[in-house]
Amino acid sequence: MADHSALELRNAGFHYPRCDWVFRNANLRIDGGITSILGPNGQGKTTLLRCIAGLTRLSEGTVTHDAAIGYVPQASASNFAYSVFDMVLMGRAKKVSAFATPSRADAARTREILERVGIAELATRSFAELSGGQRQLVLIARALVSDCNFLILDEPVSALDLRNQARVLELLRNLATEGMGILLTTHHPDHVLHLGGRAVVMRSVDDIRVGSVPELVTDDVLSELYGIDVVSTTVDDRGGPRTVLYTRYDTFADTAPAAALPTESISMSTEPTAPQSLPTVLHLTMGSNAGMSGGTDVSAQVTPVDLYSLDELDLTTVRGLLINGNCDQIFLERRRDLLTEFVTAGGRVAIMGHPLTRFLPGLGKWRKLQYFGPKDLAIVSGDAHPVWEGVDPVDVSFRRGVSGFYARGYSDKLPEGAVVANHIGRNALPVDYAYPLGAGQVLVHGGLDVGVYQEDPNTSARIFPQLLTWLAQQEAQV
């Protein structure tokens, strides 16, 4: 394995448009080894990690690296029943030229990595049927098969049982021993002690500290960081000393104390940040920009937001959420209460793609359509809806390009009060529908993200701007 390389942040800061800073004036250099990022919920750990990985664009400053980076998101179920082998093989995408297929060498490298990670026996299994620990190992293998020399992982042991936590942690330690650079976020300080190396502690927007694990992962630092007493002690572990942590749960503080942390710190700014409001519509994506929010008069009111930053946002001033088709539906399902509260209070949500989990009440489930010819994918207009006003179904049924179709499935078990804007195929099955939920509205488009139609030279170009207008409204009816 190639030696690791360096990652560096210089005067880095990030904020969502018209929102407060998540972090600012951060200067950080990571020269391989293992580095763990610690911080309370909502402190911006995932955002910092994604900025370092180049998946989210900084608002100011720079991130530079001479490393080949492999990124591992939090494990989630796949919307499609890919085999484990195919999931890992996808990591070779950058090695495959346009219009080519993976070579025998790519397949051989995939088998080699499956063996290295210890999951070769899962090669023919469906990724969707795996346990959380197995899925996490598959995602790590997918990153490794890209021949990266620096691995960036977002909470790699989140929601795993003890055995699978140990399995992932030991794999990371072994990779670091072989020369792989490792950067991860975690909510487990005891895991940071086990991994060793360096730690980054995110105390606040402008109070981020970096140092060795023995210097930073201490009783005082952790207690101040989390606002609760954290105590370490040394025990005998098979004849050797080992530091373990425990929490005094009855010492929970109503407000977290101000930190006064020791050791080297990232440079900080004391410039106050005035509260600012969020834009009218947020576009939830698996990255900082999915290219759907441009080219319309209302695009200034639409801001791409990383899905995994949802917990950090105040949605009380937001009117609409546009959920991209590639979003992590397991993550969304775990935020069902948050999304339901947003809609029932009067918000609007538009869902693109294939809903396979019911992360909102009443949401139908996407089913793949059996089709044998063009008529099975033809679109037929249904009930009137402002998003599809003036759109000729012929213009959306078939297109030139990568996809060549509007949708290839339908929704079943529609909720009470739903209106079906478009049907698909010979049996006129529902593909686009909307329904009321409390004081708000939910719209589902069971096909391609409609942003791809923006530049079409026909009536299909109307869909996306009309969708944004609908999301920004509060009083219009479904």
150-154, 203-207, 298-302: segment of lowest average pLDDT: 298-302
- Asked whether the predicted pLDDT for residue 103 surpasses 60, the reply is yes
pLDDT in tens, 364-421: 888 888 777 777 888 999 999 999 999 988 888 765 433 457 888 888 889 888 999 9
Please, which pLDDT band fits residue 459 given cuts at 50, 70 and 90?
A: confident
pLDDT given for residue 6 in this prediction: 84
Please name the residue that has the structure tokens 């008069």: 297
Average pLDDT, the chain: 83
Closest CA to 158 of 183, 134, 187, 178: 187
| Assigned token pair, 116 | 């290295």
What is the per-residue pLDDT for 267? Answer: 42
At 474, the pLDDT band (50, 70, 90 cuts) reads low
